[in-house]
Amino acid sequence: MAICVSEYKGGRKKPKNADLQKQFITQAKKTEERAWLSEVSAVPLQQSLNDLEQAYKNFFNSCKGKRKGQRIKPPWFKKRFFKQSARFTNTGFSLKGGQIYLAKIGDLDVVWSRELPSAPSSVTVIKDSAKRYFLSFVVEIKPENLPQSDNGIGIDLGIKTFATLSNGQKIEAPKPLTRRIRKLRKLSKKLSRKTRGSKRYEYSGKRLAKFHAKLADNRTDFLHKLSTQIICSNQTIVLEDLNVSGLVKNRKLSRAISDLGWRKFRTFLEAKSESSGREFRVINRWEPTSQKCSCCGFRIGKLDLSIREWVCLNCGTSHDRDVNAAVNILVAGGHSETLNGRGGQRQTTTICSSDKRCVNPPEFQQLSIFELLE
């Protein structure tokens, strides 16, 4: 990394990956300062330089507009107390019963969380900030399609209620950070009072890291269970595209939004839908799902966040704000329709927020707000 930065500041091009591996692995082992490199396997050393090459490639493609999404920053040094990893390919590890052998490390006793579905192509040894060790295997799996279902579900994500489903079900989030915010402040204050670099500082930092790891585990466990339940019971899942990175910039809501894990929930749904033969759809974030009546399609306009229930001025249907938005999300995903113009007339059967069929809904009339209130 340092040689790449110095070459860039000198106006020269970044060295090639082959030159870096020759300089910092092959030749460095022969020097006294880097002789310790011979004590570890060359496989993770090579993989770390390959990752550096891929990181620079992603950065250059992002600058040139060849990479989709937000513009990414150039790679930088990792901190010693942050998460660390080492990846071993086929030549650097082997499985023997319940043990795994790593090159120049030896046999390791592993507590398996599940059986491997096939032979792994690589394994990554991960050490998190709480000094816990994990093994992550790359295996090839065959997708197993779940039984077909006619059910479709729309999901409206929120802060007070994590998810509201189009069938009227509301799911509360565990909010692990909100419930333990006092303990977080206490551990953070203890860490700030210690001298940086001392043993007590390292001990307090480890306690704080374990606390954050426990919060992350609770959140991930909740998201895994909820996503699996939704995937097993529905054929079509429709979700609204949320600008999470933009919403987190709001200093009043950033902690609450980060505590929910919206983006990770979407990732779980998308991955499990692909492996289970389900259909996952995402609608436009600008769709006015909370402003339209899910029964007749009348658009009432923007509502204040304090209003959780409202009555449609056209058909008189009483709506729960979140349930109505979830139904509109399902409709916008193309699973069903509320209004369908056929010969200039409205469709005579629509889906209401109560998940029942409305027979012969009133004709939509272009009336002013004053006429509707009379």
Q: Check 109, 322, 355, 363 and give the catalytic one.
A: 322
Phi then psi for residue 167, to 5 deg, are -90, 5
Distance CA 94, CA 171 (A): 44
> How would you classify the pairing of strands 236-240 and 152-157?
parallel
Closest to 17 (Cα-Cα) out of 42, 51, 64, 59: 51
CA dihedral 214, 219, 220, 224 (to 10 degrees): 140
Catalytic site residue 156?
A: yes
Catalytic site residue 274?
A: no
Fill in the amino acid letter for 45: L
> What ranges in the chain are assigned the alpha helix state H?
2-9, 17-21, 42-64, 176-179, 181-193, 199-233, 244-247, 254-260, 262-276, 321-332, 369-373
Q: Check 156, 172, 304, 337 and give the catalytic one.
A: 156
Catalytic site residue 107?
A: no
Q: Count Cα atoms within 13 angstroms, Cβ side, for 161.
A: 15
CA distances from 290 to 238, 250, 308, 316, 321 (A): 15, 21, 10, 16, 6
Q: Are 335 and 326 in contact (CB under 8 A)?
A: no
Distance CA 311, CA 298 (A): 11
Closest to 107 (Cα-Cα) out of 96, 116, 115: 96
Cα angle 256, 258, 262; round to 5: 105
Q: Check 39, 51, 115, 240 and give the catalytic one.
A: 240
Residues taking part in catalysis: 156, 240, 322
